[in-house]
Amino acid sequence: MSRIGKLPIVLGDKVEANLAASTIEVKGPLGVLNFEFTSLVNVVKENNTIVVSPVDNTDSKALALWGTTRALIANMVEWVSTGFKKSLEINWVWYKFEVVWDKLVLSIGYSHKVEMPVPAWIKVAMDEKLKNTLHISGIDKQLIGEFAAKIRAKKKPEPYKGKGIKYTDEVVRRKAWKSGKKK
């Protein structure tokens, strides 16, 4: 039995959910998210809660998807009400981020500036206090994580000097320089 799957999902005051066949649409103050769930689980809306249950309690695949489906729907309810944010930090003397209209411009040590178009469903903003921090926010955690990973892949942090682009909560293990002694 899934401990997570048993829990009902409580909808907030400003969150609305609509069920149709095998899809659920969650609307909130920040936007709308859709999810198509499998036929191995039942999703029922009762008053202000959503309950997920497996169709067959003996099917191992249905039991596995029970908790996963409930967790994804609960995350959708949270994201449309509060949103999701990921932060990146750039480290080195001449490295910097710039947000120009709908493009993110990176100066990361190449002979040219790297321009990345920002998708319409994502908001990108610089931190007011810290000039080397970039905040990416929106309602879909998967798309935000994918865009942040693409930015980070342009210049991954290196272990000797620590220069590059990293997540703010990421810890880069630093290596020591050569410690051998010349004779």
Q: What pLDDT is attached to residue 165?
A: 95
pTM of the model: 0.83
Q: What pLDDT is attached to residue 2?
A: 65
Identical fold between 3-82 and 84-167: yes
Q: What pLDDT is attached to residue 178?
A: 76
Quick one: DSSP state of residue 179?
-
Q: What pLDDT is attached to residue 152?
A: 96
pLDDT class of 156 with cuts at 50, 70, 90: very high
Q: What pLDDT is attached to residue 181?
A: 66
In CATH, the architecture of 84-167 is: Alpha-Beta Complex (3.90)
Choose among 113, 137, 111, 105: nearest CA to 124.
137
Mind listing the pLDDT tens digit for each residue in 130-149? 889 999 999 999 999 999 99
Average pLDDT, the chain: 91
Choose among 104, 100, 82, 92: nearest CA to 148.
104
* pLDDT at position 16 over 90: yes
Structure tokens at 161: 């000097």
* pLDDT at position 180 over 80: no
Rounded to an integer, the average pLDDT of 3-14 is 89
Q: Assign residue 100 a region: left if phi > 0, alpha if psi is -120 to 50, beta otherwise? A: beta
**CB of 164 closer than 8 Å to CB of 181:** no
**b (16+ CB within 10 A) / e for 153-174:** eebebeeeeebbbbbeeeeeee
Using a 10 angstrom Cβ sphere, with 0-12 exposed, 13-18 middle and 19 or more buried, the burial of residue 86 is: buried
**CB of 150 closer than 8 Å to CB of 136:** no
Quick one: DSSP state of residue 172?
P
Mind listing the pLDDT tens digit for each residue in 34-90? 999 999 999 999 989 999 999 988 888 998 899 999 999 999 999 999 999 999 999
**Backbone dihedral angles phi then psi of residue 78, each to the nearest 5 degrees:** -70, -45
- CATH of region 3-82: 3.90.930.12
Ordered by start, the domain boundaries in the chain are 3-82, 84-167
What ranges in the chain are assigned the alpha helix state H? 3-6, 60-82, 141-153
Cα angle for residues 139, 71, 30 (degrees, 5° grid): 20
Q: What pLDDT is attached to residue 124?
A: 95
